Structure 1
Amino acid sequence: MCLPSRPRRAIASLLLALPLLCAAQGKLLLTGGVSTIEGAAGGGLTPWAVTGSYASGGEVGGSAYLSRVSSQDYSLNSFGVLVSLHDRAEFSLARQDFNTGPAGTALGLPGLHLKQTIAGAKLRVAGDAVLDSDRAMPQIALGLQAKRLDAGGLEATLKSLGAKTHGLDLYVSATKLLLAQSTLVNLTLRASKANQTGLLGFGGTASSSLSLCPEVSVAYLISKHLALGAEYRVKPDKLNPSALGAALKEDDWWDLFVAWAPNKRVSITAAYVDLGRIVPGIVSRRQNGAYLSAQLAF
């Protein structure tokens, strides 16, 4: 995959810096979450209030990830890095490459790939997931994701539908860790106008305003190395209806995942994902398949 020079240099610089970070070992195994497809720490589909890596107070940590989602007709590759400061702030950078498959061919753009760069920041503003595990107080964080899309030959079509190629997602996450029950619950409320998380631009003739979309995650720790969970992500529907009628109607996403961390350096996440219908006017069947992600923490 070929990246524009600025995102490529930024990701390379962060990757070179990761080994220089201090050994971040303060958190319990898996309590830093894994990397989402947009780069923030959380589940695979939605961010949590936790900061990435195992950096606790007074430590600086980081992680790098690589993931792939494959359905019947599409695929999404994603990779990125993040830095966590003192278990208080998190900064992430991610790059996505979406293969449009038969939809691109039907639009006269065979082999079209939609590429998106996502710069994220997260700040813990209240609570501590571990220290407050025996209280009602959750850990709460505020986050943002600045997104820029390279739509290639599809850009003119998106503009004709009122969609922009850049946008900003804002979110608040609340994460509750119930240590006695070996369970983690997260609720995220996202303000967004991203179509298919931004891969089809932002906003449209149907609506150019932000929508509030809830996202829910539940994880159960089978052992200190293995967790099972599920996620559900509500998505905005800014291109429906449009000049193409309901051909671009957007569905919610959900998954069932398993995360395995043999140690604090490595974690592997696998999931069954249901992405609903993507551009149903061209490919009407639901898109479900497999998600696989590998993460290295420092």
Structure 2
Amino acid sequence: MKKIIPALMAALACAGAWAQSSSPDMGKLLATGGVSQVEGAGGGGITPWALITGYGTRDSWGANAHYTYINTQDYKLGSYGVAVGLADRLEVSFANQEFKGSLAPLDKLNIKQDIVGLKLKVLGDAVYEQDSWVPQVAIGVMYKKNKGVHGLEALGVTNVKQLGAKDDHGYDYYVSATKIYLEQSLLLNATLRATRANQMGILGFGGDKNDDTRLMPEFSAAYLITRKVALGAEYRRKPHNLGVDNEKAYYDAFVAWFPTRNFSVTAAYAELGDITVFNPKKQHGLYLSLQAGF
């Protein structure tokens, strides 16, 4: 999988030089850039899609900024970032996540993580190849850097390695396949992710129970009830690497509103499973994401 990175970087160099002499045309259909996934990539809320972010066509480019907030009984997660789509083929993204505890003994907990992502469309077109069963396929990579544990200094914990993680940084590699059926107003997506990340990397990478990179499936489905409103659901399987974290799958049900090409709002009810043995109950709550761009 390490061969993916040089290919993506070469495509980035070519597309970046091209974009300097182009202006965005916003020619793609409304909602076909997806929303901002919580790790910064274009897609659904918790899983990336093969779609390239923004509304720029193959002769143009697009970009957006997002802010996402998730609130459960014991924790809060905020994410903000930017993403750029070039020639409807290459996507570059950056996101910062901040994870906070709100209930003792983790009420002072604060963990931040930076994520840099690249995605390259390699096959098909989810929108314009309606006479073909072949989906749009993209490959992607996310580099994640955990910035340490704050609020647990009294317990002598300042790094995720002290919770059992093997590393405080790592890569996620994924392949996504997305198909849009315009006549049925339906989007279907499947993603296969190779990962060692604990809770997306918030609790580090690898652990005392497992340190291997494993393949995890993710699925999304969305139905356009109007041209500007979509209903959908997502599922994301997770590894269980840490003894102190009985990690479970994520899933959600969402509604996304696209009043214009420049702005979208996504609201969801999310189930995030157990997060650490210190607050041992299933975490669920509201998800809200705002995206602005072109």
The answer to whether the Cα contact below 8 Å between 1:265 and 1:296 also exists between their aligned partners in 2 is: yes
Amino acid at match of 1:56: T
Pairing 1:250-289 to 2, within 5 Å after superposition: 250-279=247-276, 281-289=277-285
Shift of 1:24: 3.4
Distance in 1 (alpha carbons) for counterparts of 2:84 and 2:268: 25
Amino acid at match of 1:131: Y
Are positions 1:74 and 2:75 aligned together?
A: yes
Pairing 1:150-169 to 2, within 5 Å after superposition: 150-153=147-150, 154-156=157-159, 158-159=161-162, 161-169=164-172
Corresponding residue for residue 50 of structure 1: 51
Amino acid at match of 1:72: Q
Pairing 1:40-189 to 2, within 5 Å after superposition: 40-102=41-103, 105-106=104-105, 110-153=107-150, 154-156=157-159, 158-159=161-162, 161-189=164-192
Structure 2 unmatched runs, 5+: 1-20, 151-156
Greater mean deviation of Cα atoms: 144-153 or 90-99? 144-153
Distance in 2 (alpha carbons) for counterparts of 1:55 and 1:188: 23
Amino acid at match of 1:289: G
Q: Percent identity?
A: 46
Corresponding residue for residue 231 of structure 1: 234
Shift of 1:161: 1.5
Instruction: Give the TM-score taking structure 2 as reference length.
Output: 0.88
Amino acid at match of 1:282: F
Secondary structure in 1 aligned to 2:260? coil
Higher strand share: 2
Distance in 2 (alpha carbons) for counterparts of 1:67 and 1:270: 10
Q: Deviations over 1:256-291 (max 9, x none)?
A: 000000110000000000111111x22122111100
CA RMSD of aligned residues (A): 1.7
Shift of 1:142: 0.2
The answer to whether the Cα contact below 8 Å between 1:25 and 1:54 also exists between their aligned partners in 2 is: yes
Secondary structure in 2 aligned to 1:45? coil
Amino acid at match of 2:269: Y
Secondary structure in 1 aligned to 2:222? strand
Distance in 2 (alpha carbons) for counterparts of 1:286 and 1:150: 26
Shift of 1:238: 1.0
The answer to whether the Cα contact below 8 Å between 1:24 and 1:53 also exists between their aligned partners in 2 is: no
Corresponding residue for residue 16 of structure 2: none
Corresponding residue for residue 207 of structure 1: 210
Secondary structure in 1 aligned to 2:273? coil
For these two proteins, the number of residue pairs brought into alignment is: 269
Corresponding residue for residue 223 of structure 2: 220
Distance in 1 (alpha carbons) for counterparts of 2:121 and 2:58: 12
The answer to whether the Cα contact below 8 Å between 1:232 and 1:253 also exists between their aligned partners in 2 is: yes
The answer to whether the Cα contact below 8 Å between 1:46 and 1:215 also exists between their aligned partners in 2 is: yes
